[in-house]
Amino acid sequence: MLSWTIIIVAVCICVALILNLWRLLKGPTISDRILALDTMYINAIALILLYGIYVKSALYFEAAVLIAMLGFVSTAALCKYLLRGDIIE
């Protein structure tokens, strides 16, 4: 049962990633693209954790933590840059 569920869930997350990619490419504004990237890293965390379940390994947790932290920092940095023209004031 679990192996089938993993396949279904992986397909769902990949479709979600493709939808994000569509929004990332289409825009129309830069804020939309940042939002698409923000959603994309959340989906990427989900995919990595799912892979960790699939190969029965706990190693992927560290990768998920790193993506979560870097994703938030990059979203904040991009927004800050667009708001002020500067990242560190």
Partner 1 sequence: MKVFPMPVHSLLLFVVWLLLNNSASAGHIVLALFFAVTIPWLVADMRDEHPKILKPWLAVRYILMVMKDIVTANVEVALLIIGPIKKLQPGFVAIPINIDSDLGITILASTVSLTPGTVSAEVSKDKAWLYIHALHLDNEAELIASVKERYEAPIKEIFGC
Partner 2 sequence: MPFYLEVIVCVSLLIGSVFLLIGSYGLVRLPDIYMRLHSPTKASTLGITGILIASMVFQSHLKGFLSIQELLITLFLLITAPVAANMIAKTALHQRIKSLDKTQNQELMEVIRDRETPSTPKDPT
> Total binding residues for partner 1 by CB under 8 A?
3
Q: Does 12 bind partner 1 (CB under 8 A)?
A: no
In terms of Cβ atoms closer than 10 Å to its own Cβ (0-12, 13-18, 19+), residue 20 is buried
| Minimal distance, residue 56 CB to partner 1, in Å | 16
Integer Cα distance of 26 and 43 in angstroms = 19
Q: Does 58 bind partner 1 (CB under 8 A)?
A: yes
| Minimal distance, residue 62 CB to partner 2, in Å | 10
Residues in contact with partner 1 by CB under 8 A are 58, 61, 65
